[in-house]
Structure 1
Amino acid sequence: MVQSDGGVVLDRIDQHLVALLEKDGRTSNATLAREVGVAESTCLVRVRALREAGVIRGIHADIDPALVGRPVQAMIAVRFGGHRRSHFEQFRQEVPKLPGVLSAYHVSGATDYFVHVACESADALRDFVLDHLTNRPGVLHAETALIFDMLKGEATLSGLEA
């Protein structure tokens, strides 16, 4: 991996490592090393460098919200009034830490943020919106859309097949 003008340039081996880990983050170092054709110690150093450079941000389990007691998912569109930087910064710092928030996206257009949540019930979803979103400084409007089904894309960020 080469850092060039503040950016990261991945060589063929790094790209292959990223593709393998994207497919299965639990792949052992020995298997990774064998697959890309390098020594285990070299592989360990390369994966560590990919983490330190921010290419690999983490390894996560894909949990089914319904099976852990949060069957109601929604995407909440949040619109600010006035667009004061302090309101956005506070929102950005606090909302990802709220219970049930799976992700939050700062977007362009009429909506400022989309907040993806998983809740125990429709009542819990309503309470979340009222208690944690609509009463925030600067929030003008929140519109909730229930998620009936989620399709996970098959595209890979590495652009390579493992």
Structure 2
Amino acid sequence: MATDSNLDRTDRDIVRELQRNARVPMRDLAEIVGVAPSTCSERIRRLQSRGIITGFHAAVDLPNLGRAVQAMVFAQVRPLSRDLIATFRRDVLAMPETMAVFVLAGGDDFLVHVGVPDIQGLHSFLVDKLSSRREVVQFRSSIIYDHGEKRALEDLRSYD
């Protein structure tokens, strides 16, 4: 968790560029942001130690990985408690179909992003894995037809 996430312009530029392409060579990144490669490298190390940069990831094509169908599954669990929330979150994240789990406030307790090979795979996930859990009292799913994603998020404080 970041303790001091105030970023100067150079740090913001480094974060933005790494979000766009985490494989950019250090020399090129340093040139883009206008600092020496050693300075750039040190700033990245500090951004990591402060918890601002938490990792480097590869973008993948889900259908080519056998996940042609994606869905968002809203679930309610009972009896609601911290232990149940933590256990359910952990268990659902361990399922191979699960791509992300969000703990929510409001009518639903969880939003689960799943990726499966086909509609039958989604049905199996919902019936065999999710509804078979005794703590799940209700769920509903929505198939994702398409989605957009921002690759480079800006630091909103830089606009204050």
Question: TM-score, normalised to structure 2's length?
Answer: 0.86
Measured after TM superposition, the shift of residue 23 of structure 1 is: 1.7
Q: Residue 76 of structure 1 aligns to which amino acid in structure 2?
A: V
Check the 8 A contact 2:76/2:109 in 1, yes or no. Answer: yes
The equivalent of 1:70 in structure 2 is: 67
Contact 1:29 1:44 in 2 (8 A): yes
Equivalent residues in 2 for 1:1-162, closer than 5 Å: 6-153=3-150, 156-158=153-155
Structure 1 residue ranges, 4+ long, deviating more than 6 angstroms after superposition:
none
The alpha carbon displacement at 1:151 in A equals: 2.3
Q: Does the CA-based 8 Å contact 1:73-1:117 persist in structure 2? A: yes
Kindly tell me the number of residue pairs found equivalent between the two proteins. Answer: 156
Cα distance, 1:42–1:154 mapped onto 2, change above 3 Å: closer
CA 1:57–1:70: 2 relative to 1, 3 Å: same
Identity among equivalent positions (%) equals: 32
- What CA deviation, in whole Å up to 9, does each residue of 1:66-92 have, x standing for no partner? 122211111100111221221101022
Shift of 1:118: 0.7
Report the Cα distance in structure 2 between the residues aligned to 1:132 and 1:29, rounded to whole angstroms: 45
Residue type matched to 1:151 in 2? G
C-alpha distance 40-46 of structure 1, shift in aligned 2 (>3 A): same
TM-score, with length taken from structure 1? 0.85
Structure 2: tracts of 5 or more residues without a match: none
Answer yes or no: is the 8 Å Cα contact 2:16–2:152 preserved in 1. no
Q: State whether residues 84 and 138 of structure 1, in contact with CA within 8 Å, keep that contact through their aligned partners in structure 2.
A: no
RMSD over aligned Cα atoms: 2.0
CA contact (8 A) 1:104 1:114 kept: yes
Q: 2:20–2:151: 8 Å Cα contact kept in structure 1?
A: no
| SS of corresponding position for 2:84 | helix
